[in-house]
Amino acid sequence: MNYNVNEKGYYGEFGGAFIPEMLYPNVEELRQNYLKVMEEPEFKKEFNQLLKDYVGRPSPLYFAKRLSDKYNTKIYLKREDLNHTGAHKINNTIGQILMAKRLGKTRIIAETGAGQHGVATATVCALMGLECIVYMGEIDIARQAPNVARMKMLGATVVPAKSGSRTLKDATNEAIRDWINNPVNTHYIIGSAIGPHPYPDMVTRFQSVISEEIKLQLIEHEDRENPDYVVACIGGGSNAAGTYYHFLHEENVNIIAVEAAGLGVDSGESAATSVLGKEGIIHGCKTMLMQTEDGQITEPYSISAGLDYPGVGPMHAHLCKTGRAEFMAITDNDAMNAGLELCKLEGIIPAIESSHALAIFEHKTFKPDDVIVLSLSGRGDKDLQNYIDYFKI
Ligand SMILES: *Cc1c(COP(=O)(O)O)cnc(C)c1O
């Protein structure tokens, strides 16, 4: 079984490029060039240098001793929370801004829901001195004021999407419209392992530095390069794709994907796509997504903004369908408690997204000598108000 993208842009039956005709030249230019560019020694050198000096990589692989003691197994945390800007998203935006420059682009667009990807994009645009336009639903702009302020401070223009439900999917529509109107000078930075081919594969490759480092770091800790389990939370699926990438074809490595169950899988307020989703087309690719009988995308819900997405990337739809990955759905409540537990046991305040991954230990028993590597995708600073309100701190 192949778990990577094939030459037609598919992971099994998922993926492809379902885009308006007028977007074809932009996507095709990227498709024809992305692998060639990524293989250039100069590109690799610049990418790796920035990951090291600007992002602060390699991120540590930390043995969480007290957490491991509590669950009687061996838990390692891959510390993406220590990256510049506080999460894994910067790995991808650094890669894509370098790609945009190689393709001669001078203007960057992006869409953002909670604002995390908008901040990561505005950051690299400032770094490279490129114009940055971020589309964001009007409702999200009101909900995510600190991230809107960050983007503005970094020099980006934040454009409100005022149509429809005025949230992420409306912002995506605006970004696509912009790209159609500006095909020559503009690159569209997508923030997760989603979108039309080649985006899911390109984003996965930029994020694959996570599993590349895990292999080397685990040798130092455990004298072996493969853990028994890799675990990551899934919104669109970019931190997960990067964490799994170099283990996809290692049969002895079990893969666990953690989705947000929200108030409960059957509550009507959930983002557990693997349970609730059906095959459909979102954001230019065929994948699993939450939709009504007549194919309207349903509004997802999760306490964590980064997991509040109605689909998963096509790689993950394939991992789910083939059974290569075990999918678990974690409620708001379980995630919040797991987040607080990490604070008390390890002195690390995790992003609520990452807290979902941490919550699996209450639901699944591991063997004492199992080696588990969990992607701590981000830090909890951005979620402080949520934690305060939830626990009445
Ligand atoms: C955005 C985000 C996620 C979800 O995005 P993926 O593409 O699924 O990785 C997870 N964790 C954090 C901290 C995020 O900011």
Residue ranges per structural domain of the chain: 22-50+89-203, 56-87+208-391
| Cα 90 to Cα 80: distance, rounded to the nearest angstrom | 10
| Ligand 1 neighbours (beta carbon < 6 A) | 87, 89, 116, 192, 233-240, 306-307, 351, 353-354, 377-378
Average confidence (pLDDT) over 21-31? 96
> Do the first three CATH levels of 22-50+89-203 and 56-87+208-391 match, i.e. the same topology?
yes
> What mean pLDDT, rounded, does the chain reach?
97
Q: How confident is the model at residue 295 (pLDDT cuts 50, 70, 90)?
A: confident
The verdict on whether 111 is a catalytic residue reads: yes
Average confidence (pLDDT) over 51-67? 98
pLDDT of residue 156: 98
For 362, other C-beta atoms within 10 Å of its C-beta total: 13
Task: Reduce the secondary structure of the chain to three states and give it as a string.
Answer: CCCCCCCCCEECCEECCCCCHHHHHHHHHHHHHHHHHHHCHHHHHHHHHHHHHHHCCCCCEEECHHHHHHHCCEEEEEEHHHCHHHECHHHHHHHHHHHHHHCCCCEEEEEECCCHHHHHHHHHHHHHCCEEEEEEEHHHHHHCHHHHHHHHHCCCEEEEECCCCCCHHHHHHHHHHHHHHCCCCEEECCCCCCCCCCHHHHHHHHHCHHHHHHHHHHHHHHCCCCCCEEEEECCCCHHHHHHHHHHCCCCCCEEEEEEEEECCCCCCCCCCHHHHCEEEEECCEEEEECECCCCCECCCCCCCHHHCCCECCHHHHHHHHCCCEEEEEEEHHHHHHHHHHHHHHHCCCECHHHHHHHHHHHCCCCCCCCEEEEEECEEHHHHHHHHHHHHCC
Tell me the fold of 56-87+208-391: Rossmann fold (3.40.50)
Of 82, 111, 140, 192, the one to substitute when testing ligand 1's pocket (max ligand atoms within 8 A of C-beta) is 192
| Cα 385 to Cα 255: distance, rounded to the nearest angstrom | 32
Average confidence (pLDDT) over 226-251? 98
Average confidence (pLDDT) over 209-233? 98
91: CA distance to ligand 1 center in Å? 12
| Cα 207 to Cα 204: distance, rounded to the nearest angstrom | 5
From 82-86, 169-173, 340-344, the region with the lowest mean pLDDT: 169-173
- Of ligand 1's listed atoms, the one at least distance from the Cα of 239 is 9
21: CA distance to ligand 1 center in Å? 30
The verdict on whether 346 is a catalytic residue reads: no
pLDDT of residue 143: 85
> Contact 43/338 with Cβ under 8 angstroms?
no
CA 391 to mean position of chain CA atoms: 27
Strand bridging mode 61-63 / 74-79? antiparallel
| Cα 57 to Cα 48: distance, rounded to the nearest angstrom | 9
Given the residues 74, 353, 377, 382, the one annotated as active site: 377
> What CATH number was assigned to the domain covering residues 22-50+89-203?
3.40.50.1100
pLDDT of residue 169: 86
Given the residues 89, 105, 169, 286, the one annotated as active site: 89
Residue 55, token pair as written in the block: 């992002």
Average confidence (pLDDT) over 227-246? 98
| Cα 278 to Cα 286: distance, rounded to the nearest angstrom | 10
| Cα 117 to Cα 188: distance, rounded to the nearest angstrom | 12
pLDDT of residue 299: 87
Q: How confident is the model at residue 205 (pLDDT cuts 50, 70, 90)?
A: very high
Average confidence (pLDDT) over 292-300? 89
306: CA distance to ligand 1 center in Å? 5
Residue 381, Cβ density class (10 Å: 0-12 exposed, 13-18 middle, ≥19 buried): exposed
In DSSP terms, 233 is beta-bridged to: 258
Q: Is the pLDDT of residue 224 over 90?
A: yes
pLDDT of residue 314: 98
Of 78, 81, 84, 89, the one to substitute when testing ligand 1's pocket (max ligand atoms within 8 A of C-beta) is 89
The verdict on whether 392 is a catalytic residue reads: no
| Cα 313 to Cα 201: distance, rounded to the nearest angstrom | 10
Q: Is the pLDDT of residue 351 over 90?
A: yes
